[in-house]
Structures are given as C-alpha cells and as structure tokens.
Structure 1
C-alpha cells in the first residue's frame, strides 16, 4: 500500500513512511535507470565488415557473463573503432576495461573471417590469455587460440591460428621468416604498448618497435589496436599509424575509472626514524673502530600518508591524511649509512594483518627469488586454507608429475600465501591464481612488478615492498609506470569497487611533530598518486641506434643486432633498399618530419644505407642471404661458415658431438 492510498487523519496532517528501504531503493533505481539505458551488449549493432550471424552468436555468449558496457566503452564504440579498416590507440586508466574493448574488436575481426594476433609483454600473460579462451568458444566458429612457447614459431609452419597470443619478441622471430603467412591477418592488438618506448620498455623497446615496423610492412591490410594506461602522446602515435596505413586510426583517451582507490606511502615519526638512523651509524662506527657494537631492534610505529585526491597539493593539509597502520611496531634493518626499510618483512607484516582481516592482498617484491621466501613468512602468520577443488586437485597432480615430486614445487597448495613469479612453470602460476580467486582460498599472493602488467586478480589491497630493484648494474629505482601498474591491481572493476595501495619507500620517509610530511615523503606520494597515470612518452628507440651509425659505430653488438633484424624476413631475393624504406616509415621519421628535422633524418638514412652496403661487400652472398632471411647477426654466421670450411673433413656426425665438442668462439 502506498501513502497516497491512505487518507490523512485530520486536516493539515501529514503521513510519513517509516520504511526508508523502499524509498532508498527507488531513488537508487531512478539514478541507475539513465546509466543502464543503452548499456546492454546484446543489441550492439554488427560493425562494418562483420558477419551478422557470427557477431550475434558471440554477443549472446558474452551477455551471459558480462551483459553491459561501461560508459567509456560506449563512448569508444561510438567512434567506430570496431569497424573493419579502423585502427585505434586507446589510453585508459588501469582497471578501466581496456580488455573488454580489445575483446569486442577481436570478436568483430573474427566475425569478418580474419585472424588476430594479440601481443602481451610477458609469457605469464600469454598463459593467462590462453586460459581466457572461453571468451571465444569454438562452438561459435572454428576459433582456435595458440599460445605456445617461442620454439613453436620455428616448427609449426608459416600459418597462423585464428587467434595467436605471443610476446613482441616471438612475433619478430616469426616475421623473420619470409614465408610467414599474414595474408588473412585482420588485427594486431598490442597490449601495454608503452613497451615501444625506451622509457616504458627499456632494452626490450628495440624489439618491440622492430616488431611493429615489420608487421606494418608485412600486413598492411590489418587493423592495429594499441592499448596502454600510461601514454602521454597517444594522438601522435595514432596520427603516425594513420599515415602509414592510409586508413582511419582513432586516438581515444578517457580518464574515467569505475573503481576507487586509497593510495598511500608508509611513513614514520621523524623522531623515531632519526633515532633509528643514529643507532645504525653508532653501531657501524663501533664496528669500524673495533669496539663492541650495540644493535638494538629498530622497532618503529608504522603510519601511512594518504592523498585524498589526484590533485592533492603539498601545502593543503585537507588533501592528505596520516593514519596509524598497526597497534604494534615493525622492524627496520641496519644499513651502511642508516636504517633501511626492510621492505619485504614490513610488507609481509602488513599483508598478514590484511589477510587476517579478510582482505585479499597482493604484495609486490622486487626480486623473483624473494616471492617464495616472503610467502613463507606470511604463511606462518595466517591460518591455512580449505580443501582444493576438483580443478586445483588436477592441477596439483599435473605439477607433481611435471616436476617429479611435490617437494620440487614453489607452491604449497594449503598455504594462505602463495608466490607468483617467472621461475614457476605455467601450471604453478595457474594454480596460484585459482587459489587466490577463491573467496575461501589463499589470502595473499606475492609477485614481482614485472608480472603486474595485465594481472587481473581480485585484490583489495596492493602492497609495493620497496622502490628499488637489483639488476646487472646494481640497484636502480623502479620506473614510474611499474609502480602505477602494480598500484592498479587493487580494486579491479567487476570484482571489487574499492582498493587500498601502500608503497614502502626506500629510504624510509617521515613526518614532523606537527604531522607535516617531509619533502621526501611528498615525493614518494607523488610516485604512487600522481596527477595522471600518463607517464610514458613514446619515443622511437631506433633513433639512438641511427645516431650511433651516423657517428661510425657499426660494430657494437646492439647496432649489429639492429642491422640484422631490420633486414629480416626478406627472402632470398631481398631488395637492398627495403630496410631504408621501412626506416623512412618509422615513428622516428614521423617525429623528424613533425619537428622540421627531416633533412637531418635523411642524412641518418644515408649512413644506414652505407652500413648495409659495407656488410654486403665484406660478406659472402650466401651468408648475407641467411642473415637477411633469419635475422641473425652476420658475425657468428661468418665465423660458423669459416669453421665449417676449415673443418669440412672432420665435422661431427652425431647430435651429441655437435653439442659437446663443436662450437665457435
């Protein structure tokens, strides 16, 4: 019965409903009605070029699990990016649904009878995407997802499957063979495409850019979909692709995000941190002077500095909060010049607290071998999980069979905290993800920032244990995009609406007696909560190599590798000018033309052509053809040919002899 159906007891009297629930529900429904109108996926019109029956079958299948599109998806679809002949560069925040838009574009391509290559930055993501093949079930059409290891590229023949998932390095290897069949290729998706820039991909950016250049030359008929949350110059990249293809390329940038995050930095009271530094220096001085060293535990009370919005300002106290993280203390370490953050141990302590509170937590450590040890530390502080389900039992038996015993696995299937790193075989990672996704499964997963890219796990808390990592050159800071990628794992839309991120900085940072953070603390907060996630400018990594060739450096290993890879995949009748033409279509050439430096770039191309000519004169024709065909460097091929000629009567006759007793230095 409604209030309107009840007559007032007296003139001027007013009836008030005591049941607030129905009114509140009605207000919510009224608010969402406008948002849901047109959001359903089932009636999405078939894109240009797609076969209507196949498209409709896929939409019905998709609607069973994900029946709606978010506002940013609808805006992107309205641009026509799903149409055949349209490429796009999508810059959306982490967790804003880039994967959904890529799946729509893939479905449109498959519905048009064309094939798809999906490029991902890590082999772990290759495995993850292969396992998500139920998004494109074979019953809809004869779709087959291939995601085998790199060696398969050399033995599976030149024909691609309907959907191929691989790293950029593998695609470059495949395209190094002239007979790789790309005639039916309709779409190349490049996830985490900031890998194309030295700032985003480091040394891998050269292979990534060469991969894209070779793909653009070999498959000009294909559409390209580049995805990233980090690009600063997405419109420039889209303009370049449009010029190369002669077809439309959309730059779509939308800052909207469906989930909320609280991002903060672990911080200590300045008087406590100063005491810790003084204690460490006194102990170090005593050791240097052969005196007894007093080394008490460096137990400090942990706090967190949270920014309350992306536009926070240092001089605005209302934009931040300092909150105590624990009733207890955490222990810092003794370092060379002062106290160090003891990031893994402190992070493990926070992760255990979050797990005991029922919060799913990801902790990121900066060395792969730290993941299993940190998981063991957390395991001792959190109750064990329940029994395995049928899939997990099967996976565990497969792991035992593959490794030769449970004792050889990095996983403990009953543990509440599990590692997830590149040292694990794919079925170990798959089992860790399955256990973590279960509400009654593992509460904590310990991974490395490298695996943060594209990792879709339902975490409520993300802890970044440290801002430095070890590499072959010593220790270096994590890059901004690595920190933001890891931070984006907390609060994934479709799983959880909210998430909390904690960064443990190195060195430790502090706040003063008046609760004002130090400048170092603000700098660390800016790393995890910048005004924008757009932190990577795409610059062509090949520009530096061209500069070095122009200066006469044609013998260093990375330049030799570049020269070989640029000529790869040409076949026996190679056009000597084709690599030059390809570089003239590069992003470096586009940037030079846009800045008025075209004449200077042309001089670099002349130097590049001279380097190729010198190789041709100094190398036998047959050796050069093999290098061009395979992408291998000339030097080892020349040495191999010389040794074969010199030892032609004494060559090995068995595989073991070839492997053990015959090599080139």
Structure 2
C-alpha cells in the first residue's frame, strides 16, 4: 500500500518494546484493509467495536504522538509524526461511522483530528494533512477563540488561506467567567496568531515583527504544570496545568520549519526568468496553491526550472507531475519564451486548457490550436499552445516557422512514443510513429528549447534522459521519485470453493435454464500486506469478504464458470456508493458500461442533487444536438453514469462536472457517485475517486478507436487504471479492486493461491513498468523482412527517403537520432553501424517498390509532410480547376472534394482509418467482395453524412439514415443490423470520421497555400477554415463564428440561429474571417433591434 519512500520513513520510527519498525507498514495496511471492508459488512455495527489490529493502531497513535510533542528523538521526528498521523488517520476513518462528531479542543486536550492534521504537516505530508483537516468541525464549539483556532488549522492545512488571513482574531470575545477557561482561551489565541502568521507568510505578506517560535515557547512555558501557594491564611497550594494548549503549541513548533520550507513563494527565480515576473506569478499562485509537496521540493532542487535544463519525469500516477510542469511552464513564460504542451488525445486537449488556464492564466492565455486554421494562427504559435502530437507533427511539417519562439515542449503521457512490444505484436503503431516523429522533428527545429517529458508508466526513465542528452547535447535530468500523496489498497476478487459448491447446488434446483446457470457466490478480496506478490508467504496475505451480497457467477455454453464480472463489479460499486464513496468502474466496452451503470441505478436510491445553471445549459445543448433524451448519456438524477469514447465532448464535460460536485460528508444529499468507463480512457480520467473497480483485464477491439488488435490490457494499463483510486486532499487512501475475467477459486482454509499473472500485476511494486520500444526501429526491421506494408509504413518510407532543405537525407536526420539506434550504439557501436547500413539498403529497395510517379518538388514535399502518396497531391492540384471557389458552405466543398477522391475510390484509405469506417458502416463496409465499388459507395455516403452533420441535423436523424443505409448494403445476413438506442453510428461518425475528413481538408488547404505562394492561384479563406468546420459540424464560416462566440454551444442551435440571421449577412466566400465575424456581430445587433421592435 505504501510507496517505497513512505515505507522507508515509517521504518525510521523509534523502536518500541515488542514493536518492530520494519512491519509498521504492514500493521497500518492491515488496519486499512479491515476498515475498507468492515464498513460494507458491518454498517449497522457499533463503531467502537474494534479488533486487535485497531487497538494496536490506537496505541501507536498515542505513543508516537508523545515522541513528537516531547521531542524525545529529534532526528526521528518526521518518521514518528508520520506513524502517529497515519494511525490517527485509520482511527478517523473508524469514527466516520458517527458523522459530525465535534472537534475537541479544551484546556485538557486536543482532538485526534487536530493532532493528525498537525502531525502530517510535521511529516511533510501536506495532502494527507488536507484530508485529515476536512474532518475538523468548529460547529458546536461554544467559545469563539476556539472556533477560530479550529477553522484556522483547517484552512492552513487545506490551503484555503483567504478567510484565515482576513480574520480579526481580536474580534473573538472571551467570556469572563471561569478563570481557567479564560486563561485557556488566551493561550489558544496565541496559537491562532501563529497559524495566521504562517498563512500570511505563505501568501508572501511580510510579518517581520512576529516571533513565531517565541510566541509558541511562551505558550508552552505558561501551560506547564505549576504550583502557586494560596494566601490569606489558607493552607495548601493551587495546581495549574493547561495540557491542551501545551500539546497544541508543542506540535505547532515542530511544523514551523517544514511548512515554511514548503511555501511556494520561497522558490527563487530560475536562471533565465525575469525575477519580477516570477515573483508576481508566485504571489498569484500562492492564493490558491501556497505549498509544495515533498517530491516537488526535491525536483526543484535538481535545477530543472533553470533555462537550458530538461527533464524526463516518471513519477507515479497522482504524484503531482502537473504541478511540476506548471512550474517549468511558468519559468519559461517568465523568460519571455513560448510553450507547446502535447496532450495525448484530442479529448484531453480541452481538459488541459481548462486546468492550465487556472494556473498560468495570469501570465499568458492558454490556447488550444488543435482545430485552428493557419489563418487564425498567424506567424507564430500562441504563447502557450496545447495540441496533440499528431497536430504538432503536421504544423512542424507545413509551417515550422510557427515554432520559432518556442522555448519549452511539454510531452504529457510520453509513452505514446512507444511501439507495442515486438514480442506480442508486429503491427506498426501509427500513433507511436507520429508521436516519435513529432518529438524528433521539434528537437531538430528548436535545438535550444527545453523538454519536459511526463509519464507514470515508463520504466527506466534514465535511459530516455540519456538518449535525449545524446541527441540534443543538452542537460536532461531523470526524475523518478516513487513518492506520491495517495496510497492504493489493491485487491483481487477470489471465491471460496466450498461457497461456490453450495451456490451450484442451490442453482441446480432452480426451474429455468437461466436461473440454473447463475451460481450465487460471495466475493472475497485478496490483499497483500507487502509490495509484490508472494504466494509462498501466506502470513503476508489477507482475505476479507467484499460484500454481504452474493452476485452470481455464470455457467457459459461450454459449462465453464465465468466471473460475470460486470454484475459483480456493479454490485460492489453499489455497495460503496451507498456509503457515500465515489467509484469508477472500468469496463471492457461501451455496452458493459451501460449495463453496469443501469444495474447500479436500479440497486440504490436516485440522486437528489440538482444540476446547477451551467450544467443545465450543457445538458440542454446536448439534448438539442442529439435530438432525443433517450439517446443521450444524461447523468441528471442518476447515481451512476457512463464515460467512454462515444460521448460527445459536451456530454463528457457534463458527466465529469456532475461527478465532481462536492457534498457534505455524511450528509443526506445523494449525487452521481459512480462512473462506468472504458479502460481506453483511463489515462485521461482525472476525477476525485475513493474506489476503482476493474471489471476484467481486457478490452473489446471493436471499442478501441485505434483498432488495436490486442484484447488483453497490458500491465501498465491495468496499473494506470488502478492508480486512479484515491486523490490528494480528497481520499489519501484509495481502494482498487480487480474482478478477473476468469474467477479465481481457492480453499480459504489453507489459502493456496494459484500463481496467476494477474496477481503479479495487481500487486506489482511499481506503476512504471512500460518499456519504450522505438517504432522507427520496428518499422525499419519490418521493411527489411516484409513486402506487405500498410499506407502508414509507405508514408514513413517516403519521409525517410526524402532530402531536407539542408541537403540531409530523412534517414540520417531521423534514424541517426532514433532511440533504437542510440541503444544499439551504446551496446555495440560497430554492430549499430552495420544495422544502420543494412536498413539504409532495405529502405532504398522499399522506396523503389512504391513506384511513385514523378511530381514537382513541392508536391513531393507536401506528400511527405502529410504522409500521403504524391499521386494524391497531384490529383488534387489538377482538380482545383473545378473547385467551387465561389461557394462558402462546407457541403459544397466536401461534395467536390470527396468527388475527387471517388475518381480513385480506394484512395479513401489514405485519409480514413479502416476501423473508423467499420465502426460507422459495419457490415455495409466489411461484407464486400468488390472493394472498389464499396469504397465508391462509402464515399457517397460520407458526402451525404457530411451534408447532414453540417446542416443542423440531430444525431438521431443521422442515425436513422445510417441504419437504413447499413441494412440496404450489408448483404445477405441472418439478422439485420440492430437499431442503436444511443445513435451509436452517428456518434462514431462525429467522433471518429469527422476528424479524418478534417485531415483531408487540411491537405487541400496546404495545396492551395503552396500554389498561392508560387503565384499560381489565390488563397481561399473558406478552405483554410474547412478542417475545423467539418470537425465541428459547421454549415459555413458564419456558423463557425456564431458557435465560437458561445461558451456552451450547440451545433444544431447555432445552425438554426445562423439560418435566422443569414438575411443580414453580406460577407462573401472570399472575405477574411474577421469580416465574417463582423458580419455576425452586425446581424445579431440588427436582429436584437428587430426583436425589440416586435
């Protein structure tokens, strides 16, 4: 459960009689396991009922807290504090069964929640402190000074410093009643002043006259036990002691140094950054993020923020890599240079924009350039640009000058540069090639730019850093600190053989075939007390029931018992959701997501939390675009919703927004507590979550938008999904459960666990297990041994065979700097050179086999840049004489463009992925013995679909057309294509096909731009905007302008509004986009006056 650095800290704790520090992590893990399962099974039990383990934890908390407060072993203070705080954390979770228990703060004691918060801060565990502080309750405390102190500690630990620094502590009235209580309030007020001054320092506000240590030492001195003689002829003495203030001040004095060191405002300006700009940005950030985590401080000390320093960061999921990237981005912007941020998918580009805008917005606007036309980009990229690697490669190809001011490339989830493991797949991964080429091309063009590569999945980050250092000749650090602020209890579902036998006996007595196939069985959770899987050490294994329910296993047609994983996962998710836990269930396809969400919504009470104004606006936009509530993935009123690749971007935003809504712990409000998601989007799902359930460890190939032939999830994908459990400052300890596709059956009495691969993966020591395989190397090896290569391989052959402007061959430029060649060179320089020579020969033979026709230099260059055959560029050039240059609608241009492709219909594969076409047209595309005729027919269908998509038709209407088309052309089948209740085919056209059509439009735009630059024709503003118009479903540029003016924009509603305003438009197809925007603004003003007059 604990990462290596946390385990090391625990083991540095002081020795106690009968307690070995080496097993402290095991004891705390056992306690967390007990609590994670006991609440499900004993929700009606008394919370004070404790086991031997919990009793041990309680004694740990008291003992080690005393070590810290009394400063018995100063050199072990951090470790003792971490042990004590972790123990208090366990006890705090036990007390959650009695909500709203008031926080104790009195003359004699302070509550354990206060202690836990402060102890975590002493141990440099700010995220744990924030979670603990969330349990502090000032409500019900009668004395104002103590209410302010409780609030102050909570606000300091949760980084909510605004109310804390603004509070006037002298406004708190001290009731002049019992003198002991008055004295206690005065002592606590001094502690409150210390907390407030720490907050002021964290916000960069000077407090030179306040002696923090002096104040706390005075509180300690005045609180100590003292004896005062009683005068006036009374025999005896008065004994004074204020244990509560004494203990609080003793803990506060231990955290002062660590808290001050962690303050963001104390980071000095990196070299190259303007000191004033850096300081101003730190002050702005300190308002919301005043402290850094311990691993952040460690990274800063490496010097990676300095200009000229790059870093490969392979820290675990949830370890705050985003914060470290923000610091580097800010340092670059403060140096007056631009930043490019590569997000792994198109869907995540918008999320990055939202997240980064809140952090970097005070320095520069964050701009998504994924869909922007070159006309909108101008001569340079925006100062902070977000895009995918594919978009970066494309822009580097046809407009490299855009990157001339870029000083930093951030590559998030950089394991995208890796091909699949050659041992398990020989397919050349197109996305990996594009990602690798984007990185290499950027490094060639911007030799002095810094790099920041981020991934939690990559093993041997040092190898990647060494490669980049060798290629760039610049400083590149590897940072792989294993610490992270959250912990995962990982578990695998197993079953008791005896219990299965009993269930099978009962099922056999049922009357129906379906009932007989369902074997009720209680799921148990298999846990490990130590990292790694050790089946030969049963004393380190814990088995606990996971549910009081018995979701059935199922006999399949071959009389094999299957895990019925979706129903089991749904039951477990419902159990945890009923306790107020947030749960993400990862399923193997979209159908399973719907099934799991539906099951959960039937099992537990509906949501009571209503949508806010923005969420209602998003929902209305989605309903308008889809055309039917029944076909919409609507989370309103649900306890469980879906999240997968068939959701429209607005639907995805809505689901995530509703899931994020905060609710009072233990309150009556019920909201969206479960998301059922496909595993393909696990890497981008950054949501607050207590529990992750993985329903099987495979994926449906039909549901994979990249058409990956693998069905089994790779280890790093499994660990990435499980790593989503827990979130800093929300749930420091998350629970991750795997429901294997094949049930694991054991004899619980002797606990002989079969040694299965899934168990080795689940209990793996580290998340970082993905080795980077160079796709360039794999492709060249494939070229040498295979004559049957796909279109992507052909495009890379052309790129490697091309000659750069500097006269260098693409082969030398790319392969000579490739990761594969670097590794070979390190291992055996001579053999590496021989490999390079052999691949050069093979490449020349492969190039000759392409039989490309002779074309002009610029046409060949354009073909290489875009990965398309030269003959396709030549055909576009020849067809331009018939282009609808006087037309301004997307439909007119796409009708002409697809008609050009239809002259050689099988060229559809140049710009359209086979898997995307199959996902939309199904058997109407695959059931064909005449590929050319099928391709021509498909192009006609794409023309009609684009007209509907850009003509304001709803997804339900498009789906109805598609269903009729598929049924008409799917051939002889035993059962016609089924109707989709969620308009799945139309959704996949919008999400998968439209971007590919946008790529085709982008190629056309480049052809026209090259001709214009050569004086062979005019620039066509409509074509420059065509890629994003097709992707977004815009009828024309006026529709685009209207959509861009709205924060929440419905495609259908803005189309209808555009049609209504059209009578006021005057800008022609040759007008620049600014003129079109002015046109729309003017039309809206005229229309508003017309409406007012009516």
**Length-normalised TM-score, structure 2:** 0.55
Structure 1 Cα separation of the partners of residues 485 and 598 of structure 2: 34
Q: Is the 8 A contact 2:341 2:410 kept in 1?
A: yes
CA spacing shift, 1:455–1:618, aligned 2, 3 Å: closer
Task: Kindly indicate whether residue 685 of structure 2 is the aligned counterpart of residue 455 of structure 1.
Answer: yes
**1:204-603 equivalent positions in 2, closer than 5 A:** 204-273=431-500, 295-311=516-532, 313-337=534-558, 338-383=560-605, 384-440=607-663, 441-471=671-701, 476-520=711-755, 523-551=757-785, 553=787, 555-566=789-800, 575=807, 577-596=809-828, 597-603=831-837
Q: Is the 8 A contact 1:464 1:503 kept in 2?
A: yes
Cα deviation per residue 1:308-364 (whole Å; 9 max; x = unaligned)?
231452222232210001112012233244121122211111111111101111111
Q: Is the 8 A contact 1:547 1:604 kept in 2?
A: no
Cα deviation per residue 1:429-460 (whole Å; 9 max; x = unaligned)?
11211211113331111212222214321101
Q: Is the 8 A contact 2:311 2:465 kept in 1?
A: yes
Report the counterpart of residue 638 of structure 1 in structure 2: 871
SS of structure 2 residue aligned to 1:519: coil
> How far apart are 1:99 and its partner, in Å?
0.7
Structure 2 Cα separation of the partners of residues 90 and 226 of structure 1: 6
Task: Kindly indicate whether residue 903 of structure 2 is the aligned counterpart of residue 663 of structure 1.
Answer: yes
SS of structure 2 residue aligned to 1:226: strand
CA spacing shift, 1:454–1:81, aligned 2, 3 Å: farther
SS of structure 2 residue aligned to 1:621: coil
Which structure has more strand as a fraction of its residues? 1
Cα deviation per residue 1:249-269 (whole Å; 9 max; x = unaligned)?
001121112222211001111
Report the counterpart of residue 328 of structure 2 in structure 1: 105
Cα deviation per residue 1:376-428 (whole Å; 9 max; x = unaligned)?
22122233131222332232233234434544421232212121222112222
SS of structure 2 residue aligned to 1:503: strand
Q: Is the 8 A contact 1:564 1:634 kept in 2?
A: no
Structure 2 Cα separation of the partners of residues 293 and 23 of structure 1: 68
Report the counterpart of residue 119 of structure 1 in structure 2: 342
> How far apart are 1:554 and its partner, in Å?
7.4
CA spacing shift, 1:382–1:164, aligned 2, 3 Å: farther
CA RMSD of aligned residues (A): 3.5
Q: Is the 8 A contact 2:643 2:677 kept in 1?
A: yes
Match 1:56 to one of 273, 279, 298: 279
Which structure has more helix as a fraction of its residues? 2
Cα deviation per residue 1:507-542 (whole Å; 9 max; x = unaligned)?
11122142514214x543321220222211122121
Structure 2 Cα separation of the partners of residues 67 and 226 of structure 1: 25
Q: Is the 8 A contact 1:564 1:631 kept in 2?
A: no
Report the counterpart of residue 407 of structure 2 in structure 1: 186
Q: Which moved more, 1:612-621 or 1:311-320?
A: 612-621
SS of structure 2 residue aligned to 1:235: helix
Q: Is the 8 A contact 1:89 1:225 kept in 2?
A: yes
Structure 2 Cα separation of the partners of residues 97 and 121 of structure 1: 18
Q: Which moved more, 1:31-40 or 1:303-312?
A: 31-40
Q: Is the 8 A contact 2:326 2:360 kept in 1?
A: no
CA spacing shift, 1:274–1:535, aligned 2, 3 Å: farther
Structure 2 Cα separation of the partners of residues 644 and 248 of structure 1: 46
Report the counterpart of residue 46 of structure 2 in structure 1: none
CA spacing shift, 1:7–1:129, aligned 2, 3 Å: same
Q: Which moved more, 1:196-205 or 1:179-188?
A: 196-205
**1:57-96 equivalent positions in 2, closer than 5 A:** 57-96=280-319
CA spacing shift, 1:320–1:224, aligned 2, 3 Å: same
Structure 1 Cα separation of the partners of residues 574 and 446 of structure 2: 50
CA spacing shift, 1:648–1:61, aligned 2, 3 Å: closer
Q: Which moved more, 1:336-345 or 1:482-491?
A: 336-345
Report the counterpart of residue 44 of structure 1 in structure 2: 267
SS of structure 2 residue aligned to 1:121: coil
Structure 1 Cα separation of the partners of residues 851 and 700 of structure 2: 43
Q: Is the 8 A contact 1:464 1:486 kept in 2?
A: yes
Q: Is the 8 A contact 2:623 2:632 kept in 1?
A: yes
CA spacing shift, 1:279–1:379, aligned 2, 3 Å: closer
Structure 2 Cα separation of the partners of residues 125 and 180 of structure 1: 26
CA spacing shift, 1:154–1:575, aligned 2, 3 Å: farther
Q: Which moved more, 1:557-566 or 1:443-452?
A: 557-566
Higher radius of gyration, 1 or 2: 2
Structure 2 Cα separation of the partners of residues 182 and 475 of structure 1: 37
Q: Is the 8 A contact 1:109 1:187 kept in 2?
A: yes
Report the counterpart of residue 391 of structure 2 in structure 1: 170
> How far apart are 1:607 and its partner, in Å?
2.1
SS of structure 2 residue aligned to 1:464: strand
Report the counterpart of residue 859 of structure 2 in structure 1: 625
CA spacing shift, 1:109–1:648, aligned 2, 3 Å: closer
> How far apart are 1:650 and its partner, in Å?
9.0
**Length-normalised TM-score, structure 1:** 0.88
CA spacing shift, 1:241–1:4, aligned 2, 3 Å: same
Q: Is the 8 A contact 1:232 1:536 kept in 2?
A: yes
Structure 2 Cα separation of the partners of residues 17 and 649 of structure 1: 96
**Greater relative contact order (Cα < 8 A, sep 6+):** 1
The aligned length equals 648
Structure 2 Cα separation of the partners of residues 529 and 241 of structure 1: 32
> How far apart are 1:628 and its partner, in Å?
4.5
